Amino acid sequence: MRIFYLFYSAFFILGTLQAKELTAINPIKFTNGFETVVPIFNQIAPLCINSIPPPLPTTSINGIQGAWSPNTIDTTQSATYIFTPNAGQDAMVVSMTITIIPNATLTLTSSIATTNQTVCDGSPILAITYVGSNGATSAVVTGLPPGVTGTFNSNVFTITGSPTAPGYYMYTVSTIGGCDFSAMEGTIIVLPRATVIANSDAATQNQTVCLNNPINPIEYTVGNGATGVDIIGGSVPPGITATFDAGSFTLSGIPNVAGVFNFLVATIGGCDTAYLPASITVKPNATTNVFCDPSQVTGPNSVYFDWSGVVGASSYEYSYAINGAPAVTGLTLVSHHEVFGVLPGQSVLFTVTNATGVNCFQPAATTCSNLAMASFDTPALQAFPNPVNSILNITNSSAIANVKVLNALGQQVLDEKYHANAIQVDMSTLQPGIYFIKIAANKGNKTIKVSKN
C-alpha cells in the first residue's frame, strides 16, 4: 500500500467540485515523489425540474476518463454524482452536486369565488390576488375586460378595477421568470346596467291636469335585463293605473284626488336599478253657483241670472238658450247677466262656461222662467235687514220649508228647515261678505243676495 502525503497547491480541489471551471492540469505532489491528478469538470448549472438533462461528460477537461455514478442526471430532484477515473491514470475520485429547480408556481390567495364573478358595468370587481414563487419574478395577464388591470408587487399579483364594457371575459395569469411557467384562469362576466327610457313626449313627465280629467299617458321602455317597473320615492295620484307588457310601461287614468305627486319610475330586475323622475300636479276644480234673481229684473220680458264670483276670474264666458232655441254666447266682466226677450211662460237655460284666468273651471248652469208666470209670490217675500249683522228676517205669504245659505264661492254654509211664513236665520257666526239665500217655499223657490257686516 502506498501512503500518499498531500501537497496543497492553490488549485487543489478536495473531492467535490463547486460551480467553477478549472482549465489546467494541476498535479498534486506527495512527499514520496508520487503524483496524482484531480479531474476537472465544468459545473453543470441548475436544471429545471423534469427537463431533459445534458449528458455527464466521461472525460474531464484535463483529459481524465472515467464513469459517473449515477451515470445520468435525474431532473426530478437535486443530487450528488460521483466521478471515478479509469484505472491507471493516477487520478482522484471527484463529485459534483447538481441542483434541480422546481417550476415557478402561482397560488390563488383570494377567495375562489373571485375567479368566477359577475359584476355590473362600471362597478368594481372583487380583488383577485395570486402569489408567485419558485423563481417567478413577475406575472402577466390576458383577457381582462377594459378597465380592469393586473399589477405585480413583492411576489403578489393583484387584479383590480371597474369594467367599462359588458361581456364575457376569460382571463389567464402566467408567471414570468423561474423554470417553465405557471398559469391560472378565471372568468369575469360584465352585465349591462338595466335601462329605462321615456317614450312619450317630455312634457308628459311633468304635467298638470284638472281633477277628474285624464292625464296624458306616460310611456317608458325598459331594457338590459329589466323585468318590470316599480314606482318609488313617492306615488302616482289615486285613479292612475300602471301597465307593463313586453318591456313597455304605461301610466294612464283619471286622477280623483288633487295635489302634487312626485315619484320615480324604477326598473325591477337586471343589473343595478335605473330610474327616471316624474311629476303629476292635479289641480282642484273651480266652479260657481248660478241662480235666478227675479228681484233684479228691469222689465217684464227678461230673466236675471246671478252667480257667485270666482276668485282670480277677470271675466266670464256664458251661453243661454230660450225655450231650446240655438244658444247665444257672450262675455261679461261682472258676475250677473240679464237675458231679454223672454216671453211669459218661457224658460232660459243659462250656463257660465268659463271663468277667464281660472284653471280647471267647471261650467255651471241653471234654468229659470219668466216670473210673469211663476208661482212664487215675489212681492210677498221680504228679507231684512240687508245688510245684516246677525239675524236675517224672512217673511212670505206661503210657508217657508227650507233655507240654504251659500258664500260667494258657492259653498254651502247653512242649511235649515222650517214650516212657517215668518222665520229668522242666524248669520252671526258667518264672516262678513256676500251671501246667497236659497229659499224654498210651498209655492216656489227663490234666491236672494244679502250682505253680511
pLDDT-based confidence at residue 295 (cuts at 50, 70, 90): confident
pLDDT-based confidence at residue 23 (cuts at 50, 70, 90): very low
User: Can you tell me the distance from the alpha carbon of 343 to that of 372, in angstroms, rounded to the nearest whole number?
Assistant: 8
- Looking at the structure, tell me whether residues 112 and 54 fall in a common domain: no
User: Can you tell me the distance from the alpha carbon of 336 to that of 436, in angstroms, rounded to the nearest whole number?
Assistant: 13
CATH number at residue 361: 2.60.40.10
CATH number at residue 425: 2.60.40.3080
- Looking at the structure, tell me whether residues 307 and 360 fall in a common domain: yes
Contact partners, residue 330, CB within 8 Å, separation at least 6: 317, 318, 319, 337
Q: Which of 57, 86, 101 is the last residue of a domain?
A: 101
> Which of 21-35, 175-189, 199-213 comes out lowest in average pLDDT?
21-35
Query: Cα–Cα distances in Å, from 45 out to 42, 130, 263?
Result: 9, 29, 75
Q: Which of 157, 172, 191 is the last residue of a domain?
A: 191
User: Can you tell me the distance from the alpha carbon of 423 to that of 399, in angstroms, rounded to the nearest whole number?
Assistant: 10
User: Can you tell me the distance from the alpha carbon of 407 to that of 427, in angstroms, rounded to the nearest whole number?
Assistant: 12
Contacts 24+ apart (CB under 8 A), 145-152: 145/169, 145/188, 145/190, 148/188
> Which of 38-47, 67-76, 219-228, 287-296 comes out lowest in average pLDDT?
287-296
- Looking at the structure, tell me whether residues 96 and 1 fall in a common domain: yes
Tens of pLDDT, residues 242-280: 999 989 999 999 999 999 999 999 999 988 899 999 999
pLDDT at 10 over 60: no
> CB 388: neighbour CB atoms within 10 A?
20
Calculate mean pLDDT across residues 363-391: 77
pLDDT-based confidence at residue 378 (cuts at 50, 70, 90): low
In percent, the amount of the chain with pLDDT more than 70 equals: 90
> CB 27: neighbour CB atoms within 10 A?
16
pLDDT at 432 over 70: yes
Per-residue pLDDT at 322 = 94
Of the two residues 442 and 306, the one the predictor is more confident about is 306
HSE toward the beta carbon, residue 275, CA cutoff 13 A: 14
Q: Are 130 and 139 in contact (CB under 8 A)?
A: yes
Q: Count of domains in the chain?
A: 5
> CB 437: neighbour CB atoms within 10 A?
22
- Looking at the structure, tell me whether residues 362 and 394 fall in a common domain: no
- Looking at the structure, tell me whether residues 165 and 257 fall in a common domain: no
Is 0.75 surpassed by the pTM of this model? Answer: no
Per-residue pLDDT at 440 = 87
Tens of pLDDT, residues 146-192: 999 999 999 999 999 999 999 999 999 999 988 888 899 999 999 99
Question: Tell me, what amino acid is at 380?
Answer: A
Per-residue pLDDT at 383 = 87
Per-residue pLDDT at 345 = 83
Q: Are 293 and 448 in contact (CB under 8 A)?
A: yes
User: Can you tell me the distance from the alpha carbon of 16 to that of 39, in angstroms, rounded to the nearest whole number?
Assistant: 10
Q: Are 246 and 221 in contact (CB under 8 A)?
A: no
- Looking at the structure, tell me whether residues 75 and 111 fall in a common domain: no
Per-residue pLDDT at 410 = 65
Per-residue pLDDT at 16 = 34
- Looking at the structure, tell me whether residues 326 and 402 fall in a common domain: no
pLDDT-based confidence at residue 408 (cuts at 50, 70, 90): low
Q: Categorise residue 247: left if φ over 0, alpha if ψ from -120 to 50, beta otherwise.
A: left
Buried/exposed 153-166: b ≥16 CB within 10 Å, e otherwise: eeeebbbebbbeeb
Per-residue pLDDT at 379 = 59
The residue whose grid cell reads 364573478 is 117
Question: Tell me, what amino acid is at 322?
Answer: I
User: Can you tell me the distance from the alpha carbon of 231 to that of 259, in angstroms, rounded to the nearest whole number?
Assistant: 17
pLDDT, mean over the chain: 87
Per-residue pLDDT at 371 = 55
> Which of 311-315, 376-380, 404-408 comes out lowest in average pLDDT?
376-380
Choose among 274, 283, 201, 287: nearest CA to 237.
283
Domain range for 28: 1-101
Q: Which of 251, 283, 315 is the last residue of a domain?
A: 283
- Looking at the structure, tell me whether residues 110 and 187 fall in a common domain: yes
- Looking at the structure, tell me whether residues 296 and 329 fall in a common domain: yes
HSE toward the beta carbon, residue 4, CA cutoff 13 A: 12
HSE toward the beta carbon, residue 229, CA cutoff 13 A: 27
User: Can you tell me the distance from the alpha carbon of 3 to that of 31, in angstroms, rounded to the nearest whole number?
Assistant: 10
pLDDT-based confidence at residue 5 (cuts at 50, 70, 90): very low
pLDDT at 294 over 90: no
- Looking at the structure, tell me whether residues 329 and 413 fall in a common domain: no
pLDDT at 14 over 90: no
Choose among 152, 144, 151: nearest CA to 187.
144
- Looking at the structure, tell me whether residues 317 and 409 fall in a common domain: no
- Looking at the structure, tell me whether residues 77 and 65 fall in a common domain: yes
